[in-house]
Amino acid sequence: MAIILDGNKIATEIKNEVAAQVKSLATAGIRPGLAAVLAGNDPASEIYVRNKVRACEQLGIYSEKLTLPASVTTQEMLDLVNTLNQRDDVDGILVQLPLPPQVDSKRVLLAVSPEKDVDGFHPVNVGYLSTQRPGLNPCTPAGVIEILKRSGIEIAGRDAVVLGRSDIVGKPVAMMLINDNATVMVCHSRTIDLAAHTRTADILVAAIGKPAMVTPDMVKRGATVIDVGINRVTDKKKVSEYFGDDPKRHDEFSRKGSTLVGDVHPEVSEVAGAITPVPGGVGPLTIAMLMSNTVKAARMRRGIATQ
């Protein structure tokens, strides 16, 4: 059976380090600040923002939630972002997606100052990542790398396969693996004979958004499998298909009417050498790295060396 890579434990380690940095900056009269912009009434977005604000409070980071109506225009969003760009007490700007359909999301994200782009989505930060210059990296991919490094899993010289080519996860995690000297292949929905490629991977990162798509026959024995997917299962038959007779999963389904599965079938744990669970794997690292990026932005903006 695979070693389970505990994302909650690693996220706690990172948050403790961030809290120590916040205390250190406080001695110089600096308090990192994060502004979260939320538009409309998307319940999932509200939960995500609430969790991010709570994490800020726990670590001593100043946080501000700015909620705009569902009727907001692109120009109103741009005006708000511009105001936040100019505020010295705001080091990081987080625009929670999705935005209402009438808003040009790309224009809004592009308007965020690169030095305050704690999501790491701005083309300037993407360019810094690809050319190995100091910048703000996307949170989920950065979390993937932290899991590997803090779990003592060698990256340099290893064959890595990334499933998924999104701008948010697939592409940046591939670039980070390359920067750490892995040999990287990116696969996607148009890849021919996907399993032939995934079976070569010492490190397999699944971020393709399809529940339990990666099955044991697609994984090299002893490989490290990082499951970025979070898929909600609402069909009882699928719960049995994915989790067999696991009483915890069936109990959760009975109570909530759903349970979560990643992009990797749970049976892969019988083949892999190490694997991240869903939930409790990559997910907790996303908020931890957002907190880390906020402090990093505060330091970089003031010319203080980053750690």
Annotated catalytic residues are 52, 96, 119
Alpha-carbon gap, residue 124 to 114, rounded angstroms:
6
Strand pairing class (3-4; 231-233): unpaired
Tokens of 64: 């501000």
The amino acid at residue 100 is P
Alpha-carbon gap, residue 114 to 307, rounded angstroms:
19
Q: Is 257 left (phi over 0), alpha (psi -120 to 50) or beta?
A: left
Is 132 exposed, middle or buried, given 0-12, 13-18 or 19+ CB atoms closer than 10 A?
A: exposed
Alpha-carbon gap, residue 161 to 163, rounded angstroms:
7
How far is C-alpha 183 from the geometric centre of its chain's CA atoms? Answer: 22
Alpha-carbon gap, residue 231 to 85, rounded angstroms:
35
Report phi then psi at 206, rounded to 5: -105, 115
